Amino acid sequence: MKRSSSRRHFIQQMSGTALALAATNSGLAFASQWQNKVDGYSKKISPNDKIRFATIGMGIMGYNDTNTALRVPGTELVAVADLYTGRLARAKEKYGNSIQVTQNYQDIISRKDIDAVIIATADLWHARISIDALKAGKAVYCEKPMVHEIREGLEVIDAWKKSNKTMQIGSQRVSSIGVIKAREAIKGGAIGQLAMVVANFDRQSALGAWEYTMPADASATTVDWKRYIAGMKDEPYDPKKFFWWRNYKAFGTGVAGDLFVHLISGINVITDSKGPEKIYASGQTCYWKDGRDVPDVMAGVMQYPKTAEHPEFQVMLRVDFISGNSESGGTQFIGSEGVLTLNGNGYTIRYHKMSKAPGIGGWDALETYPKKMQEELLKSYNEKWSAADQKDQSEPDTVFQAPDNYDEDLEHFGHFFEGVRVGTPVVEDPVFGFRAAAPCLAANDSYFENKIVNWDPVNMKLVTRL
């Protein structure tokens, strides 16, 4: 793509000083579209036309996902599965006595009257339950990361293709209007040629570092530990490995699988990319020395190759669980003519274009030459370059912000159930989900095995370089 001409096109469309206003207006225009959508959600759908779903894994995200799914019109929760009895009791309290509760997810997927399942278990169970559910003819909403191990990815994709069912992965930012608008801006050349993306999650709390409140009755009786470790080497019940599973690589995927994956999902959708081909990560367990075997501070570098959709660019990711920056995060797309910063469901673009003239004086060699030569050099420079040529160019920022009541989770679930109801394809299908997850899991391999990982993002395979 000719970047400066496409950028001109983007600017012309939004015309000069009207940029900031136009951006705000596009936020306003979207606010009314969103309100219409939310109003439309209050329409009644006949009970015969309801999508009956069940949630497998009723922890923090299981409850969040279920509540969001129930806001989409025409959905009904009929069953939940979880391995800890307290969460099953809570499900009855919250959703009524009529729902089925079970510790065995097979009881759910064998039911003929269930159309879809939400899988919000610890990461190690995602692939197994997805494959079983697809084989049983269920549509699947599976939380990110799609898989716990890279080797599981193609198996899930295969099961999905054979099933002809909708499957969507749960990185909700992929459906965010802020991300969709950012994609339009970058595709339209707003920041010139993309060269670098810098993204982070910073945290500074025990909960942020995954030390969640344990239930008062946690024990080998209330937790079905044997089922939890099915297929693994036997080991005694350990409440930390159950309730704080993210901290153990046998059950979770560390900060890379858990958080890099959100960043990579956003980056891949905005740049229309299949992903990086070279991955490197380093890290340390810096502060949360609670027995965890995954780092709490991690940096990753990923190299995205040039493709028909985008130029070559580098991605730098960081997660810091003991950050004096407090709880914060963001993604910056740095181009040759500006920077787009994603913030929540919106973005800001700051424009800055290099002057035509190369510059002279200041931090330069000029001052080191004899006085007379300096004067001559300055004179010929000013003859060659006009005042306009010598100025850096900047324009007012462009800002897009979704309305306050905008909810990307609801949008994401809306897409999923539309897929289930009428078969529209979803963006974050298993191919997208695996292309986002695999580089993050590869970042873990890079960290644990102290190596650079080569990845083929088109064919979704690890590459061995001799």
Ligand X SMILES: NC(=O)c1ccc[n+]([C@@H]2O[C@H](COP(=O)([O-])OP(=O)(O)OC[C@H]3O[C@@H](n4cnc5c(N)ncnc54)[C@H](O)[C@@H]3O)[C@@H](O)[C@H]2O)c1
Give yes or no for residue 434 binding ligand X (CB under 6 A). Answer: no
Residues 245, 143: Cα–Cα separation, whole Å: 15
Give the C-alpha separation, 325 to 44, whole Å. 46
- Based on the shown chain and the rule CB under 6 A, indicate whether residue 429 belongs to the binding site for ligand X: no
Write out the two tokens for 295: 């780092």
Is 121 a binder of ligand X (CB under 6 A)? yes
Piece of 67-75, 118-126, 149-157, 379-387 that binds ligand X (CB under 6 A): 118-126
Interaction mask 189-218, ligand X, x per CB under 6 A: ------------------------------
Residue 428 interacts with ligand X (CB under 6 A)? no
241 binds ligand X (CB under 6 A): no
How would you label 143-157 residue by residue, b for 16+ Cβ within 10 Å and e otherwise? bbbbbbebebbbebb
Does residue number 414 form part of the binding site for ligand X (CB under 6 A)?
Answer: no
Q: Which residues make beta-bridge pairs with 348?
A: 341, 399
Looking at the Cβ atoms of 23 and 150, the one nearer to ligand X is 150
**Number of residues lying near ligand X (CB under 6 A):** 25
Q: Which of positions 73-102 make contact with ligand X (CB under 6 A)?
A: 81-84, 87
Which of 134, 156, 165, 170 binds ligand X (CB under 6 A)? It is 170
> Whose Cβ is closer to ligand X: residue 83's or residue 281's?
83
| First-to-final CA distance of the chain | 34
In the numeric block, the tokens 């940029």 are attached to 19
Instruction: Give yes or no for residue 447 binding ligand X (CB under 6 A).
Output: no
Structure-derived torsion over alpha carbons of residues 182, 183, 185, 190, reported in degrees to the nearest 10: 100
Q: Would you say 117 or 186 has its CB closer to ligand X?
A: 117
Q: Judged by CB under 6 A, does residue 152 bind ligand X? A: no
Which of 122, 139, 263, 281 is the binder for ligand X (CB under 6 A)?
Answer: 122
Tokens of 185: 């801006």
| Contacting range for ligand X; rule: CB under 6 A; set: 21-29, 57-65, 178-186, 439-447 | 57-65
Query: What is the layout of strands, in order, in the sheet containing 194-202?
Result: 398-401, 346-351, 338-343, 328-335, 194-202, 313-320, 297-304, 278-284, 453-456, 461-463
The reply to whether 144 sits near ligand X by the rule CB under 6 A is yes
Q: Does residue 120 belong to the site contacting ligand X (CB under 6 A)?
A: yes
Angle among Cα 406, 270, 464 to the nearest 5 degrees reads 135
Among 166, 168, 172, 175, binds ligand X (CB under 6 A): 172
The CA distance from 94 to 72, in Å, is 18
CB 269 within 8 A of CB 183: yes
Candidate residues 10, 34, 95, 105; the one interacting with ligand X per rule CB under 6 A: 105
Q: Which of 57, 254, 335, 338 binds ligand X (CB under 6 A)?
A: 57
Q: Which residues contact 275 (CB under 8 A, 6 or more apart)?
A: 264, 268, 302, 304, 435, 436, 438, 439, 455, 457
User: Which residues touch 290 (CB under 8 Å, ≥6 apart)?
Assistant: 211, 240, 244, 247
Q: Does 123 bind ligand X (CB under 6 A)?
A: yes
Q: How far is the CB of 244 from ligand X (least distance, A)?
A: 8
The yes or no reply on residue 108 touching ligand X (CB under 6 A) is no
Q: Which residues bind ligand X (CB under 6 A)?
A: 56-62, 81-84, 87, 105, 120-123, 125, 143-144, 170, 172, 228, 245, 258
